[in-house]
Amino acid sequence: MKHGRLHRIAVMCAAAVALASACLDLEVENTNAADRAAALANPSDVQLLVTGAYRQWWTVAHGHEPAGALSTAADAHSSTSDRSGQFESGREPRRALDNSPVGATSFIAPVNVRPWAISYVGLASVRDGLLAIEEGLRIVVEGEDHTERVVAFGKFVQALTLANLAVLYDRAFIVDETVDDFAALEVQSYTAMWAAAEHKFAEVIEMASGADFTIPSEWVGHNGDWSADYLAEVARAYWTRYRTQVPRNPAERDALDWEAIRREAMAGLSRDFAGRWVRGQWPAYHISKLTYACCSFVRMDYRTIGPADASGQWEAWINAPVDERTPFLIDTDDRRITGASPTTDGRYMAYVGNSPFPPE
């Protein structure tokens, strides 16, 4: 017993020594720890930080969150799936949506939380990069100074992201290189967010117009390089587009300068603007998320394609009580919707068989 007791004590002492040694090891410097100064000291890294934020904006503006939920809420399409908040937003009759942390998680995460978080990842990245440049860093890559184009592109991303936040949310935070203390930030109205976005758009247009730099294709969706003047064109076009989307009611829409909007819209772009939908490139991923489910739980809403029907079935359907509505085939000469018969594919829409939805 005595020897057994001594053995147990020895084991306990050895364990204590090992534990103490382990605790001492925890004091070893972590060479992988995040170091803001080091991360912002490399021009190539800062360029990537700023320009990569464009993808954050693109993800929210062109991805499936919150686009899916906004689309079903607008009756553009219908869905039996609650992925991306689609079912919750499109339920009929409409229900009040619980916007609290304990609300429907199928709605809150894809419609509010993730678009918000992704937007601010982008804004924070641009802020850090532009601050590094303000503090004297020059973006010299492979012997060429690209500081001017990185700053202009960063302002462009700020403009797009602030504008998108103004469209999506009633209130948000203005985050740019002028922010010193995040804890002191105050929430701003959507009109203040839009004013900040307009200021950024104006800055981009002024910086890019007539400038001599090129925006690489991989920064903006693999659809060809942009000249500085084309960057100014795209900024002006998005400024005009978002201007029509920010108003929340008829009075705010009526207050817009529609003649100026028409003039800017008619000016157009010198060439098409789009992401290139090539598998393996990031723009293609986002569009595929919107389209891959066409044969399962997604259908065009009758309220979108029904008015094109020439058989009279649309009028009968929309005027019938909800519990008396039945599915029908669209009979139309609009070849964007169907081919020569109601069960053949149109130019933009495909016929995929029986609807999985309730008739209403």
Query: Does residue 199 sit in the same domain as residue 329?
Result: no
What pLDDT score does 251 carry?
Answer: 98
Within 10 Å of residue 180's Cβ, how many Cβ atoms? 8
Q: Could you give the residue ranges of the DSSP H alpha helices within the chain?
A: 2-25, 36-39, 43-51, 53-62, 67-73, 86-90, 105-108, 114-134, 147-168, 190-208, 228-245, 250-254, 258-267, 282-291, 302-305, 313-319
CA 61 to chain centre: 4
**Residue 1's CB: how many other CB atoms inside 10 A?**
5
pLDDT of residue 286: 54
Beta-carbon contacts of 297 under 8 Å, excluding residues fewer than 6 positions away, are: 79, 80, 81, 356
**What pLDDT sits at residue 270?**
87
Q: Please check whether residue 220 lies inside any domain of the structure.
A: yes
* pLDDT value for 82: 72
Residues 212 and 81 in one domain: yes
Is the same domain home to 46 and 193?
A: yes
Mean pLDDT of 225-245: 96
The range of the structural domain enclosing residue 337 comes to 301-360
**Per-residue pLDDT band at 279 (split at 50, 70, 90):** low
Measured distance CA(188)–CA(123) in Å, rounded: 15
Based on the fold, state whether residues 268 and 234 are members of the same structural domain: yes
3 backbone dihedrals φ, ψ, rounded to 5°: -65, -35
Q: How is residue 49 written in tokens?
A: 């930080």
Let me know if residue 260 belongs to a domain: yes
Judge contact between 62 and 286, C-beta under 8 A: yes
Q: How many domains does the chain have?
A: 2
**Residue ending a domain, choose from 277, 312, 337:** 277
Nearest-5° angle of CA 262, CA 267, CA 270?
Answer: 150
How many angstroms separate the CA atoms of 295 and 33, rounded? 47
Q: Which of 140, 125, 130 is nearest to 44 (CA)?
A: 140
19 has pLDDT over 50: no
Residue 23 belongs to a domain: no
Find the CATH number of the domain harbouring 40.
1.25.40
pLDDT of residue 350: 86
Q: Does residue 141 share a domain with residue 61?
A: yes
pLDDT score of 113 = 85
Asked if residue 254 has pLDDT above 70, the reply is yes
**What are the backbone dihedrals phi and psi of residue 80, each rounded to the nearest 5 degrees, phi first?**
-90, -5
Residues 155 and 91 in one domain: yes
Same domain for 263 and 137, yes or no, is yes
Same domain, 258 and 338: no
Residue pLDDT, tens place only, 192-206: 999 999 999 999 999
Same domain (yes/no): 321, 259? no
Residue 167 sits in the same domain as residue 250: yes
pLDDT of residue 105: 63
